[in-house]
Amino acid sequence: MKNKRVLIVDDNALNRKVFENIIGYSYLFDVATNGLEAIDLIKRAHYDIILMDIQMPKLDGISALKIIKAENLTLSPIIAISAYSNQADRDYFLSTGFDDFMAKPVRPRDLLEAIHHYVSKSTMVEGNTGTEHYSDLDESIMEKLMKYNTIENIKTVYLDFLEEAEGLVEEIKYLIENNTFSEIHEKLHILKGNSGTLGAQKLFKASVIFENKIKNADFEGIMQENLLLEKHLIAFRKNLEEQKIF
């Protein structure tokens, strides 16, 4: 699986070296020494799985996770790595939003099995758009929302989202046609955040990729990027219409 990339986040040089030696034979990897470095890397590249130490300087693992979730930086699994190892600690880390927990010292076999499990489970594959195997709608997110809201409220939220998203995509098209690239980022940031919150996975991932291109002043082919947003938005609307509550 050398086409899969792992992000190792740990402030301890020895721990990083151990992880690198275990992972390097099977996966590509990058390293970060604290949460701030990890967030910067996640904004610039896709990782199929992230191994996040908890106690780190500058920004600890839990705080980094909160930022990653709040800004919808990735949908990839994030595993907490910590010397705290009892059941209460594990439950706490999972409750904060981590996908899994592994105790230090990590056994090589357990680490590789965990990575393989989540990479195989992931619907993400690399491609020109990076969106092909995401679903149009993550129904689990809708189900969670419905636990705390009425069906009518949920319908209103999704319909309002569609109206706003269609307007944003149209505005982005206008900005591209008029070479006003500096204003595109703000539109994409809104679209990325809302689509991630409501489970529009393909639209979310396409927004992330498009936003990164704008951040890097890579304007080549951005009209095609916007057409891709339109395509995913149409598919998302169709998927919603097929849901029973709609």
Per-residue pLDDT 10s for the chain (246 aa) are: 567 889 999 998 888 888 998 898 888 999 999 999 999 999 888 888 999 999 999 999 999 999 998 888 888 889 999 887 667 777 888 888 888 999 888 888 888 988 988 887 654 433 344 544 567 788 777 777 777 778 888 889 899 999 999 999 999 999 999 999 989 989 998 998 888 888 888 898 888 889 888 888 888 889 999 999 999 999 999 888 887 766
| Whole-Å CA distances, 129 to 38, 46, 150, 165 | 23, 12, 35, 19
User: Three-class SS of residue 32?
Assistant: strand
- Token output for 73: 């930086």
Residues 214-232: pLDDT tens digits? 888 888 889 999 999 999 9
Q: What gap in Å lies between CA 206 and CA 203, rounded to an integer?
A: 5
Which residues lie across from 31 on neighbouring strands? 8
Instruction: Specify the pLDDT at position 125.
Output: 38
Residues 100-124: pLDDT tens digits? 999 888 888 888 988 988 887 654 4
User: Three-class SS of residue 164?
Assistant: helix
Strands, E assignment, 67-128: 78-82, 100-103
What is the pairing mode between strands 28-32 and 49-53?
A: unpaired
Residue 169: left if φ>0, alpha if ψ -120 to 50, beta else—which one? alpha
Instruction: Specify the pLDDT at position 226.
Output: 92
Altogether, the residues listed in the chain come to a count of: 246
Instruction: Specify the pLDDT at position 121.
Output: 63
What are the structural domains of the chain? 5-121 (3.40.50.2300), 139-241 (1.20.120.160)
- Token output for 126: 């690399």
Question: Rounded to two decimals, what is the model's pTM?
Answer: 0.54
Q: What percent of the chain clears pLDDT 70, i.e. is strictly above it? A: 91
Q: What gap in Å lies between CA 52 and CA 81, rounded to an integer?
A: 6
Instruction: Specify the pLDDT at position 141.
Output: 78
Residue among 59, 56, 117, 113 at smallest CA distance from 82: 56
Instruction: Specify the pLDDT at position 160.
Output: 92
